[in-house]
A = this chain, B = another copy of it.
Amino acid sequence: MKSEVVREIKGGVTAPVGFVAASIYCGVKEGNADKDDIALILSEAAAVGAGTFTTNKVKAAPVLLSMARLRGKGARAIIANSGNANACTGAEGLDSARRMCRAVAKTLGVPEREVLVCSTGRIGVQLPIAKMEAAICGLPKRLGAWSADAARAIMTSDSFPKEIAVECKIGGMPVRIGGIAKGAGMIDPNMATMLSFVTTDAAIGKADLQKALRAAVGQSFNRITVDGDMSTNDTVLALANGRAGNKPLKSGTPDFAIFQAALDHVTASLARMIVKDGEGVSRFIDLHVTGARTDADARIAARAIANSILVKCAWYGGDPNWGRIIDAVGYSGARIRPERIGIAYDGVPAVEGGMPASTPAARLRAVAKKKEFTITVDLGLGHGSFRIWTTDLTTEYVEFNMGE
């Protein structure tokens, strides 16, 4: 997946020139005193921002506010908290999201409209905003190369902080992109929320940054599913401050393609980390649907397979149960001809022409028992394809999410 012109470096979101990060403990959710719960990412220079947001019609207050803020010109800072999603909180919730931004703006001296905000955690509970404003005042003196701490502060049920950074050369100039993310893990246990923040010192206009981010998210975060639920808070934000000094990137140029590859590497790496850190996950499945009439058909077939409770249970058991896969394809709504369908596990054929292949069951079982394998479902109709990274459904997952 890593191209030759893109190399991984250390530093996460603070690897790009001119970005600093900080985290602090506030006690957003009571009783979590051992873990920072507010993170800040700041571009020391002027920057532009881009974002992609949950398509859930129930959107948390910080999602609504950040969407609106990105219509403005510049974006300098991202403030985020864990422990409380600030969702289903009405006008008071929207006011609290604004107050988080205002506190950052005041304490750092940046325009309030250039501060973006995210929350993750419990739904339907108002933020302890006064306490949070006080905590935010403590952030400036902590700013530094603290990417991993910021990544840790936005964690909920994640078992490890997720960060990555890469460097590529654009017009001879080194350009850096960094990212952190938190996983599709249940919170509190309440909701799966995916957050990711990307920074870059590339010089790139707002519209081109948005275009690149949308494409990168389409190839990464939009291709992962642990449990099929899409949260009220899912957000990916990117800031670009131009400090690398490259000639501004323009969509459609070879330089832009290099930047896109580097950004794709960042988002894809973070997306894989999220899937592998899914609660109680025991297997990672790289699912390809090919030969569909259209990419859209491939996508709905892939999503039906990846979100089938029965398919996921079979994966947990290491059972190469292709019957459940073909069943899910059948009800997915994708256009199919059953007699054209082929299914393979790590390239070993399980189904050919809609019927069992002659492969001995033991060979398929050997693949299905691996911790990580590929399933290819060829619909045999056209050139549409879609790839999705997903996981099994385990008893541990159910126990983790049964609450109370």
Contacts and interface: CB of A to CB of B under 8 A. Distances in A.
A404 B355 contact: no
Contact of A58 (B58, B87, B327): B327
Nearest to A186: B310
A310 B88 contact: no
Interface in A294-328: 307-310, 313-314, 316-319, 321-324, 326-328
A57 B402 contact: no
A399 interface: yes
A141 to B, nearest CB: 36
Contacts of A89: 355
A235 to B, nearest CB: 15
A159 interface: no
Of the listed residues A89, A317, A339, the one surrounded by the most CB atoms of chain B closer than 10 A to its CB is A317
**This chain's copy number in the assembly:** 2
Given A327-B58, A404-B318, A313 B398 contact: yes
Contacts of A313: 397-398, 401-403
Contacts of A394: 398
A239 B51 CA distance: 59
Contacts of A88: 323, 326, 338, 351, 354-356
A287 interface: no
Interface stretch (A100-108, A143-151, A263-271, A329-337): A329-337
A339 B57 contact: no
Of the listed residues A308, A318, A393, the one surrounded by the most CB atoms of chain B closer than 10 A to its CB is A393
B395 A395 contact: yes
- SS class of chain A's interface: helix, strand, loop or mixed? loop
Contacts of A123: 323, 326-327
Nearest to A393: B398
Interface string A375-404: 000000000000000000111011101111
Contact of A339 (B90, B323, B354, B401): B90
Interface residues of A, number: 64
B398 A338 contact: no
Interface string A343-370: 0000000010111100000000100000
Given A229-B331, A316-B402, A329-B58, A190 B323 contact: yes
Interface in A213-255: 227-232
B310 A229 contact: yes
A58 to B, nearest CB: 3
Contacts of A55: 331
Contact of A232 (B309, B310, B316, B330): B330
Contacts of A341: 58
Interface in A97-138: 122-125
A107 to B, nearest CB: 30
Nearest to A394: B398
A32 interface: no
B403 A309 contact: no
Contact of A90 (B57, B308, B354): B354
Nearest to A318: B404
A96 B89 CA distance: 60
A50 interface: no
A39 interface: no
B402 A355 contact: no
11 contacts: A57-B329, A57-B338, A123-B326, A125-B356, A191-B310, A232-B327, A309-B401, A310-B401, A313-B403, A319-B402, A395-B398
